[in-house]
Chain A
Amino acid sequence: AQTVTQSQPEMSVQEAETVTLSCTYDTSESDYYLFWYKQPPSRQMILVIRQEAYKQQNATENRFSVNFQKAAKSFSLKISDSQLGDAAMYFCAYRRGNKLVFGAGTILRVKS
């Protein structure tokens, strides 16, 4: 069974600083997708970034980037120049086929 582990229940970052959220996953497959979703207080799930496992290059979306280590089954999210609007619950997710498996989530607090 595929599992996704987010070992940090909560993280804090100072505004304008950089923070990294960790995620590891367990799979025996070689072809899959990984995602980070953000859930702010409104509870709307928002796609932050995606990574295809066959791509070695780390995905980047503006201030958000990932460090994808396939052999280590690690998929961390780096948020640069943190903003107050980045405060949310962040979920790492794995997909193979058509189902998403979510981690438990990390609450990110941004201090002004």
Chain B
Amino acid sequence: GAVVSQHPSRVICKSGTSVKIECRSLDFQATTMFWYRQFPKKSLMLMATSNEGSKATYEQGVEKDKFLINHASLTLSTLTVTSAHPEDSSFYICSGQLAGEAEYFGPGTRLLVL
């Protein structure tokens, strides 16, 4: 299957700082990438859809100024959590989609905001 990487795998930051998470499709070009948030033992919640070279589309209730998404190339999308607060602590997962096929997920990033 297709491989997606995420970096970092875990990050701890102070409240008020910004954190950037990278998502890369390693062996395929993903015209569309997705960002999810997952709470413990819960399902994945879609935050935004990211298309290469265009603005991300955010789901209802997701603050676009807080969760900045950039999809600069067909293999890289980044999520920046700006002015992070403890309630932003969560597990963030990205995925890349092969046209007409399934989504392939990164290993996730655990964010802890102190």
Contact = CB atoms under 8 A, between A and B. Distances in A.
Tell me if chain B binds chain A.
Answer: yes
Nearest to A102: B43
Interface of chain B: mostly helix, strand, loop or mixed: strand
A50 B97 CA distance: 14
A99 B107 CA distance: 19
Interface string B17-34: 000000000000000101
B32 to A, nearest CB: 5
Given A35-B102, A45-B93, A47-B1, A105 B108 contact: no
B91 interface: yes
A9 to B, nearest CB: 9
A112 interface: no
* Interface size range on B against A: 20 to 34
Contact of B103 (A100, A104, A107): A100
Contacts, number: 46
A93 to B, nearest CB: 8
B12 to A, nearest CB: 17
A99 B105 contact: no
A42 interface: yes
30 contacts: A33-B102, A37-B105, A42-B107, A43-B107, A43-B108, A44-B105, A44-B107, A45-B44, A45-B93, A45-B95, A45-B105, A46-B105, A47-B1, A47-B102, A47-B103, A47-B104, A50-B101, A50-B102, A91-B44, A98-B32, A98-B49, A98-B97, A99-B34, A99-B49, A100-B44, A100-B46, A102-B44, A104-B42, A104-B43, A107-B41
Q: Which 6 A-B pairs have the closest CB atoms?
A: A45-B105, A102-B43, A44-B107, A43-B108, A47-B102, A104-B43
